[in-house]
Each structure stands twice: as structure tokens, then as C-alpha cells.
Amino acid sequence: MAGVSIEETGRRAVGPVMLVSNHVSWLDMIAIQCLCPTRFIAKSEVRAWPVIGAIASRLGTIYIDRQSSRSAAAAVGSVAAHLRAGEIVVLFPEGTTTDGTGVQPFRGSLLQAPIDAQARVQPVALIYRESDTGLICRRASYTGSDGLLESIWRTVSARVTVRIAFGPALDTDGQNRRSLALSLHSQVEELRAS
């Protein structure tokens, strides 16, 4: 993508695995997909977004209505089935995007899927930096009152490096969602700082 380069650190796990990452931008999905074929989990509203919705749907995104507990339960079953089929599924458990300067607490409900599928989870940190200065790039973030088209323009007109840092994959045997969410959050923060 114009003005955006991708740098990968760490070793990507081979599926079945759930990649668990912080969430900064609409670009997260595209950047990860450039490295390996994955399936994403997204809020149902994403489907209607211009450009991004079409890309997400084409990638086989699993949509979830965050207001419906029934939808969440169905999503856990769907994600577990994809993991059992050997796929790589990406979860952004913050439930929202941030400005890239920190990591919000992780919600653990969808972490039940890799537990049920006996699949591994892998912490992933996304770090956006200004290519020229190496400073955290807030222009790539998509938060608050940002319009999507404004965010896309701001991002592609900047020179941005996206570092995708992979931590060691973890077994989910004997884990519960809460402890897994806390552990993964801590590891994503460590990856961001390294």
C-alpha cells in the first residue's frame, strides 16, 4: 500500500492458531493478511463500511453482533470450527481501536474458541511508526470521531512502518478465558515495548 511498509519480528505459528492482537487501525487487517492467510473476527457493523467491509467479507471475516449474547455464542462455535479445520483466526480482544500508545484491557469471551478447539493462541503486537522518525504514528489510528475515508487518506499519505511482532504461541490446555486474556494482554504489552 502506498506509503506503508511492513516489518515482521518473531516467528509466526502455523495453524491452527488464534492470533491475539492489539487493535490500532482499519489497516491492521490488511497488514496481517499480507503476512499470512487468516480469517478475522469483527463487529457486524464493519460489513457495511465502504471499502473495508468489502475487503473484510472477501477475507471470510466472522461477524459478531456485540449486543447479542446469542451471536457471541455462535461466533465462539464458528471460530472453534475454523480452528479445528487448521485455520489461523485473528482476534482483536480490546473490542475497539486505540491511538497506538497503549493496550486496552482484553475481553476474554471469544478466547473460549481456541480452548474448545484445543488450539494454540499467539500474542501479536501491532506498532505503527513514522518511517522517517521512528516515533509512534498516531496518524494511522482510527479512533473516536474519525471518519473512515479521512483515516484512510491520512494513513496512505503518511510514510508509515507497521511492525508486527509475534510472541511465542501458547497451549490452551487447562486455561480459562480470564487467565488467558490477562496473560495475552501482558505479552502483547511486552512485545510493544521490545
At 90-134, the pLDDT tens digits run 999 998 877 778 899 999 999 999 999 999 999 999 998 888 888
Mean pLDDT computed over 149-165: 81
Query: Which fold is adopted by the domain 4-193?
Result: Glycerol-3-phosphate (1)-acyltransferase (3.40.1130)
- Segments in 36-176 forming alpha helices (H): 52-58, 69-84, 112-117, 148-156
Backbone angles phi, psi at 130, to 5 degrees: -65, 125
User: How confident is the model over 48-89, as pLDDT tens digits?
Assistant: 987 878 888 988 999 998 888 788 889 999 999 999 999 999
In the chain, domain spans: 4-193
Looking at residue 130, its pLDDT comes to 84
